Each structure stands twice: as structure tokens, then as C-alpha cells.
Structure 1
Amino acid sequence: MYFPTAEPIHSSTDDAALWLAYRGGDNKALGILAERYFTTLKRYGLKFMVDESVVDDCIQDLFLELWQNRHKISQTPSVKFYLLKSVRNSIIEYLRYQKRFTNEESLHWDTALPDHFNAESLLIEQETLDSLVSQVNAQMSDLPKREREALYLRYFEDLSVAEISEMMGVNKQSVSNFLQKALAKIRTKWLVTIVLSLFFF
């Protein structure tokens, strides 16, 4: 079955159109999605404290399976969410095979903040930024693993509470509780503001 797209595919085509074209057999569309989300998927995968080669293999296998099963894959409201969830599932399967996964609480989670923000985006001096990052990292290290992941997915990957709920296999109220508890533990108001700024910009 072929799924026609209204316009030619190019690097600026939106996710929904690319996904539709990929399902119709357009390997260029899948390639654009792979290039668009590779860094996001790898950054998220490395949060689970597995070797970089494992994450690379999971991502490569994901796109290979997507291509092989293109005629069976449904349209998705969020390509980013679909890919992130798929990588998470692949890593959990790897950890289960390695006997390093028993339940969600056994997942390791890297607490380090993303490294692509800069002082200019926050309008502060680099020395001040370094000090803030150090303090935020210390605060993040004190959070339970599930609160860390929920915070990361919500404020860095910009997933909705409903998407995080499905991703982590818990109900939406639990996700809200994770987020509320995590932010409450980052005690001062100015530090919360900095955390959200670092995740959003």
C-alpha cells in the first residue's frame, strides 16, 4: 500500500509528513527522521548508564526494524515520543538479557544536566553558570531515579504528562507526583527557575 504525500520530501518537512512518506516506502523520509532524532535518542539512551556502543546499536536496530516493518506501522501523533519509547524499550530488553534489569526501580539514571546550554542563553557569566550547574547536579543526584527521568522527559524532551505516563508505565497522577516531588526537593525558588531555564533553552 502506498501513502502519498502532498509535497516533495526534504530536510525541513515536518515529522507527520515524513512518517507518512516512510510508511509508504520512502527510505529518504526515514533517513531524514533518523538524522533529525539521532542526537536526541542517543542522549536519552546514554542516560541509562549503558555503553555508547549499546545505545548506537539500539538506535540502528530501531531504524532497521522500522524500515522492515514499514507496511505494518501505524501513523503516530508524535514521532519523537514513538522513537524515544522504542529506544527505551530496546535498552530495557538489553539490560534484561544482561540480567541487569529486574524492575523500573533497578534502572540506573545519569544525573548530569545536558551539556549544550551556555551562559549567553541565561545572560549570566560563565563562572556563575558553572557554579549553578554544580549545585543543580548535586540536587539532581539526590532525586530518586524515576523522578529524575520524569523531570528530564518533561522539561528537556518536552513530553506531555500523558506521554511520560505511557513511556514509564505508570499512571498520569504518578507522573505528576514525580514532577511535583522532584521540583519540591530542589529547594530554593531561584534554583527551580535556573533548572527550568537550563532544560528549555
Structure 2
Amino acid sequence: MAGIRSAEDIRLWEKLQNGDKHAISALFEKYYTPLLNYGLKLIPDESLVKDSIQELFYVLWEQRENLSEVEYIRSYLYVSLRRTVFRQAEIKKTRYERDKAYTDEFFSRVVNYEELNRKETFEKEQKERLKQALESLSNKQKEAVFLKFYSGLTNTEIAQVMEVNRQSVYNYIYRAIQSLQSYLVE
């Protein structure tokens, strides 16, 4: 399955390369929120992610004359943001702290613990099973599942963003689904 090519994005990219300020603004407006949401899944530090997005678009503008042709603009932006965010995070904290914070933020958004306390016993048990199932996933599986089901990226785009081959993406998602099913069916 190929990535999603947007004729509008390609047109804006070409205008950006030619110095059109409206093109960079249009790309920024179109992708700011999806990039922010993705960045917050990587690093739960809103100011760091917002700064990284600003840096990404600043660099795009500054390097506009040197930008190459890009077939999948959305994937390119996700990959670029991912690199920028991780580079910024490495400056501020260790890799261990980054992974722990990412996992904590992911779970706090997926499972609302206050709601668990208000539900009937059966619902509590089901949600606890789901939490355990999600906790059992590796960080790569969590990231692949987020990109696939929350961001709507194709497997090809996910492979580009995560910098792995497409078969690895299939494996991450397949194993994550198997793991979730085994927890929830028991």
C-alpha cells in the first residue's frame, strides 16, 4: 500500500521552494495540530513539541531553496518533527526519562483513571485488562498503533516516520493486536 499523495501538498511544497510565504503558512496551518498531537505522543512536553514544530517550519523556510522534491509531504513532516523532537529532548534529558514520560502520557490519555473508579465492577475489570494489555506492548508497538489508529497513517508512512521497513510496521501492529486480543479474551 502506497502512502497518500496530496496534489495540494505537492503544489504548496513547490511554491515553498520558490519562496512563497503563503505556501509555508498554508502547510503550517494544515499540519500544526496533527504534528502537535503526534509530537505530544512522542514527548509529553507541550512547550518542547511546540518549539520543535516552530523549528521545523523555520528550517523549511530557511532551507527552501535547497529542499528536494518530496513525494509524501505529510510523512516528510512527521519524520522531520520526530527527529527534531528527539534531538531537542536529548538536549534536555536522558533517553530513559524521555521514554518513561512518553509512556506515562500515552496511558494517561488512553485510560482515564477517574472514570475507572466510577464504573461498575465489570467495567472496571475490562478497563484494567485493557490497561494491562496496553502496558504489555513495547514502545515501538505503542507508537505504531498510535500512528495507525489515532493518526490514520498508512503502513508505508509509518515505516518512514519510525525509520523502519514496512514489514517491521506490519509486525509491530500484528503483534500489538495479538497481545491486546489475548488480554481481552481471557
- 5+ long unaligned stretches in structure 2: 1-6, 111-118
Give the residue type in structure 1 aligned to 2:59.
E
1:45 aligns with 2:23: no
Q: CA deviation at 1:36?
A: 0.6
More helix by share: 2
Which residue among 53, 70, 74 is the counterpart of 1:76? Answer: 70
Structure 2: distance between partners of 1:61 and 1:137: 35
Match of 2:175 among 170, 181, 192: 181
Determine if contact 2:43/2:85 at 8 Å carries over to the other structure. Answer: no
* Match of residue 95 from structure 1: 89
Q: Does 1:34 align with 2:33?
A: no
Matches within 5 A, 1:108-147: 108-109=102-103, 110-111=106-107, 112-113=109-110, 139-147=133-141
Q: TM-score, normalised by structure 1?
A: 0.69
1:96, 1:44 → 2: CA distance?
A: 18
Partner letter of residue 23 of structure 2? A
Say if 1:25 and 1:70, in contact at 8 Å, map to a contact too.
Answer: yes
Displacement of 1:137: 5.5
Checking the alignment, whether the CA contact within 8 Å between 1:150 and 1:164 is kept in structure 2 is yes
1:107·1:145 contact (CA, 8 Å) conserved in 2? no
TM-score under structure 2 length normalisation: 0.74
Distance, in Å, in 2 between the alignment partners of 1:75 and 1:148 is: 31
What's the Cα RMSD here? 3.2
Q: CA deviation at 1:76?
A: 1.1
Give 1:151 deviation, angstroms: 1.1
Structure 1 distance, partners of 2:167, 2:83, is 22
Unaligned runs of at least 5 residues, structure 1: 1-12, 114-126, 192-201
Q: In 2, are the aligned partners of 1:76 and 1:82 still within 8 Å (CA)? A: yes
Residue equivalent to 1:169:
163
Aligned twin of 1:155: 149
Shift of 1:176: 1.1
| Identical-pair percentage | 30
1:177 alignment partner AA: N
Instruction: State yes or no: 1:59 paired with 2:59.
Output: no
The residue number in structure 2 matching 1:22 is 16
Q: 1:46: Cα distance to partner?
A: 0.6
SS in 1 for 2:95: coil
Q: Which amino acid aligns with 1:14?
A: E
Tell me if the contact between 1:105 and 1:146 (Cα under 8 Å) persists in the aligned partners.
Answer: no
The 3 A distance-change label for structure 1 pair 40 and 134 is farther
CA contact (8 A) 2:16 2:64 kept: yes
Question: What is the deviation of 1:134?
Answer: 5.0
Cα distance change on mapping 1:181 and 1:166 into 2, 3 Å: same
